[in-house]
Structure 1
Amino acid sequence: MTEYGRGQGSEPWRPDDPLYGDGGWGGQQTQQGQQSPYGDRPQHYPQEPQTHQQYGDWGAGEQHGYGGQQHPQYDQQQPPQYDQQQQPQYDQQQYAPQQQQPQYDQNGWPTGSYPQDPYAADPTDPYAQQAGTYGGEQPDHYGTPDAYPPPEPPGRRTEPEPQTDWDPGPDQGEHAFFAGGGDDDDAAGDEPDDRSGRSERRGRGGKEKKRRSGLACLVVVVVFGGGLAGVSYFGYQFYQDRFGSAPDFAGAGNGEQVTVVIPKGSLGYAIGQELKKMGVVKSVDAFVAAQSANPQGKTIQDGVYTLQKEMSAASAVELMLSPKSRNNLIIAEGKRNADIYELIDDRLELEKGTTAKVAETEWKTLGLPDWAVNHEDVKDPLEGFLFPSSYGVSKGQKPEDVLKRMVAQATETYEELGVEEKAESLGLENPWQLVTVASLVQAEGTSHSDFRQMAEVIYNRLKTGNTETNGMLEFDSTYNYIKNQSKIDLTIAELRNYDNPYNTYFYKGLPPGPISNPGEDAVKGALDPTGDGWYYFISMDGKTSKFTKTYTEHEKLVEQWEASKKN
């Protein structure tokens, strides 16, 4: 069986020979049933200088060449001889000489001298001999006189022409990029008929290449330098962000006081932004770091603070945690609107009565919900909607802005607690009445534990047909509200004879509107009353209340209270 890629001669198979083995062109491709354009001869790599191979005895065996023809075996010792007038002609289809075919003896050895191997590659263009094997077209390098120039005339010494096709550039081994080579030069050098032109260009381009090489180096330096600067900058920023300390002032300030308003719900970064905007701290990050380092830092609340400019972040945090810096307007639970208006005037340093006038004339534009407007006989439409809380109020603000914030706080709280949804289930006509009940609970209760029981007293007295009070509330707080007072010792005659819609001793049912601003606990008590059957209550010491179910029980408590007053 004939082995692919080896002859049938007497020589042993040599696996180290590059012309043998399954890795060569003749091994794999012939075995696959496809003829290699190079026969059994491997394609030379560009980096290896090509020399004429001297074939041994195995060369007499079967050769796989172009069209199945046998390749002649060459002797490197005897160069081919040509007549000056005679040029070798090649068939473009077979790529084989048509004249002077080699002759073989009876043992298969070639005789005589042979022309130069027509398939040998140009040393500078090792891929030029490859034909368009896969359908591509390629110039015929073998049918032109330039491919094989005629030998020198007899008597004239022939010296090998030095190779000039490969020029590494002005500096030996220089890369094409630094030598100024471009795609145009490479494309031109690939044309086989332009050898002389290529040499001329290379010969006269020395200074130009050096000039272009210098420019290329300058570009590289600029690009690398810019890249290094960019990397250095971003590296520094990364280090600062991860490991560097944030910019910060030193000391407890420069002595210049400034008022800072911290909005409700502000956390570390939002507080830091306000402080930086007012010039108190140098950076937000410094404040956040100082706040995190302080065990009480997370307790900083919204409000108005009096600080100094250019404070260290740690000093700012410490001062904000101190009551000395707090300058908030505190609205207590159960406070009436008339008192709140005066507090706002004092804080804004306005003439007394200014805020009350704004409330009277602009109440419709301050943000009340739809269910809180257009009620009859209401003394102050904003009563019950200046929600008890802490507000940042400082000189320079407008009273209408302060009132809007309070109304917004009340509306939000009532919505969260479900005042509008639960009013009807409690036997009330609307949420406005529920806020009114909460204001009565706030005004009459003496402690938070009273609120649910006090709410039950109200709902029981409002029931139609109850025989205990016959629908009368009879709360002293409603009379005090309309009189703008807070008295305890009120006579029955005084209470029953004052005709006013807010006087629950004179009119049945609820007053026209709230009589104070209830806190959250009072609202929750109004939403969730007890169910023990309470109808009466009395405050014995002004701190706690006692509740009873019948009038008889209530009269006994009244006698005890009067007796305690005489003592």
Structure 2
Amino acid sequence: MKKKLYSVIIFLTFSLIILGGYIFFQIKGKTNYNLELNIEKNQPLMRSLAKLPKSDSLIFKVYLKLRNNGRGVKAGTYHIEGEYSLEEIIDILESGKGRIVKITIPEGFSIKQIVAYLEENKQIDRDEFYRELKEASKEFPYPTPEGNFEGYLYPETYFLPENFDERTLINTMLKEFLKKFPSEKYPDKDEFYQKLIMASILEREALVKSEKPIMASVFYNRIKKGMTLSSDATVNYVYDYSKKRIYYKDLKVDSPYNTYKYKGLPPAPISNPAVDSLEAAYNPAQTDYLFFVATGDGSHYFSKTYKEHLEFQRKNKN
């Protein structure tokens, strides 16, 4: 009888040790995370935590109950990346330190538009942003004439720490640009800058992405023939894109960005373009087109002669 009791005690002891070790590992053991977690105030906590591995396990639920039922978890959006234990994850959610801010930079925005957009949303200080941008030019590998970073603030959705500053945002956007366009891939930096200028025009002119290579061919063909680019987008850049439509009176503005008046590319980019625009600038379609005009649905009609160009406009005037 004593032997049986002794055996049961040993079995229970080992079982408890194994169970304790398992529970310890589940709470203290590290798991690799790379996810965005959104904790909403008016939503059941377990629903918000559903993205977490093993969130539906009994141990997870019991541990959360022991942590005051998760009442200390702070609402917000978290970007969790790296190796963490369950205990550390709950610590992060209770401290609120992992909370992030989502910032989307639209394609084709100029720096002035980006700054105005971020300032309007109370996410940056305008003067501090420009001060930090000036400092960034010291180490950036591509041309920034007179500290001009137009074209390099890559349009993307960024996830930043809740308490991010202007330097963090700028560095994040520039790093994203260099990730998309590694400096070692483009040894001729002056050529790259010219392509970037072209890409910035394509970004503003073409609403349909598939038209970008065709539009690039039009601009290159015009340059080869000694014609002006005659891009409304470059003129509108002078007016900070405040014009919904460019009229003949607007074309009288004396600026190197007025490509109706001055031949060749403008001196710098007019927007911050996406990858496909730069790809089109480097790889234009092979066409004989010299003109294009908007059709009204976002696409364009391309033509080889001015006569054909005018004829299309006349037929579609109304």
- TM-score of the superposition, structure 2-length normalised? 0.71
Among candidates 158, 161, 173, match of residue 406 of structure 1: 173
Q: In the superposition, relative to structure 1, how do residues 438 and 238 fare at CA in structure 2: closer, same or farther (>3 Å)? A: same
**Cα distance 1:275–1:524, how it changes in 2: closer, same or farther (>3 A)?**
farther
The code of the aligned residue for 2:140 comes to P
Counting only pairs closer than 5 Å after superposition, residues 23-172 of structure 1 correspond to structure 2 as none
What SS does the aligned partner of 1:453 have?
A: helix
Alpha-carbon distance, 1:240 to partner: 5.8
Distance 2:72 2:210 in 1: 48
In the other structure, the counterpart of 1:237 is: 21
Secondary structure of 2:276's partner? helix
Q: CA deviation at 1:304?
A: 6.1
When residues 541 and 253 of structure 1 are mapped into structure 2, their CA distance, relative to the original with a 3 A threshold, is: farther
Q: Give the match for residue 266 of structure 2.
A: 511
Q: Report Cα offsets for 1:65-88 as digits up to 9, x if no partner.
A: xxxxxxxxxxxxxxxxxxxxxxxx
Equivalent of residue 524 in structure 1, options 265, 273, 279? 279
Task: Quote the Cα distance in structure 1 between the aligned partners of 2:304 and 2:255.
Answer: 28
Task: Confirm or deny that 1:279 pairs with 2:93.
Answer: yes
**In structure 2, do the counterparts of structure 1 residues 348 and 493 end up closer, same or farther at CA, with 3 Å as the change threshold?**
closer
Residue 231 (structure 2) aligns with:
475
Corresponding residue for 1:445?
Answer: 206
Q: What's the TM-score once normalised by structure 1's chain length?
A: 0.42
- 1:341 maps to 115
CA distance in 1, matches of 2:20, 2:234: 70
Displacement, 1:332?
1.3
Distance of 1:538 and 1:544 partners within structure 2: 9
Residue 433 (structure 1) aligned with residue 194 (structure 2): yes
Q: Percent identity?
A: 24
Shift of 1:473: 0.7
Contact 1:504 1:511 in 2 (8 A): yes
Contact 2:200–2:270 (8 Å) recurs in 1: yes
Tell me: CA distance 1:280–1:548, structure 2 relative to 1, closer, same or farther (3 Å): farther
In the TM superposition, what is the alpha-carbon distance from 1:521 to its structure 2 partner?
2.0
CA distance in 2, matches of 1:232, 1:256: 31
**Which is richer in helix?**
2
Distance 1:271 1:409 in 2: 30
Cα distance, 1:245–1:510 mapped onto 2, change above 3 Å: same
Partner of 1:62: none
CA distance in 2, matches of 1:364, 1:349: 19
**Contact kept in structure 2, 1:452 and 1:526, CA below 8 Å:** yes
With over 3 angstroms needed to count, the CA separation of the structure-2 counterparts of 1:516 and 1:274, relative to structure 1, is: farther
Extract unaligned runs of 5+ from structure 1. Answer: 1-228, 282-302, 306-326
Which structure shows the bigger proportion of residues in strand conformation? Answer: 2
Letter in 2 for 1:403: I
State how far apart, in whole Å, the 1-side matches of 2:259 and 2:315 are.
25
1:360, distance to aligned residue in structure 2 (A): 3.1
Amino acid at match of 2:103: L
Cα distance change of structure 1 residues 235 and 262 upon mapping to structure 2, 3 Å threshold: closer
In 1: Cα distance, 2:92 partner to 2:307 partner: 65
Residue in structure 2 matching 1:330, options 95, 99, 104: 104
Contact 1:439 1:518 (C-alpha < 8 Å) held by counterparts: yes
Aligned residues: 270
Give yes or no for contact 1:445–1:451 (8 Å, CA) kept in 2. Answer: yes
SS of aligned partner of 2:301 = strand
Q: Which residue of 1 aligns with 2:292?
A: 537
Say which of 546, 559, 566 aligns to 2:301.
546
Asked if the contact 1:462/1:471 (under 8 Å) is kept, the reply is yes
- 2:128 corresponds, among 326, 333, 358, to 358
1:396 corresponding residue in structure 2: 163
Change (3 A) 1:482 1:494: closer
Between the two structures, name the one with larger relative contact order (CA 8 Å, sep ≥ 6).
2
Q: Offset of 1:447 from its aligned partner?
A: 0.8
How many Å apart are 1:519 and its aligned residue? 1.3
CA distance in structure 1 between the aligned counterparts of 2:228 and 2:149, rounded to whole angstroms: 25
CA contact 2:221–2:289 (8 Å) conserved in 1 = yes
Q: Which amino acid aligns with 2:93?
A: G
The residue correspondences of 1:153-302 to structure 2 (distance < 5 A) are: 236-237=20-21, 241=25, 245-246=59-60, 248-250=63-65, 253-254=70-71, 257-262=74-79, 266=81, 269=83, 275-279=89-93
Aligned partners of 2:241, 2:88: CA distance in 1, in Å?
41
Q: Secondary structure at the match of 1:385?
A: coil
Distance 2:90 2:109 in 1: 35
SS in 1 for 2:302: strand
Over 3 Å counting, the alpha-carbon distance change for 1:490 and 1:342 in structure 2 is: closer
Q: Is the 8 A contact 2:228 2:264 kept in 1?
A: yes
Report the equivalent of 2:142. 371
Unaligned 5+ residue runs, structure 2?
1-12, 27-56
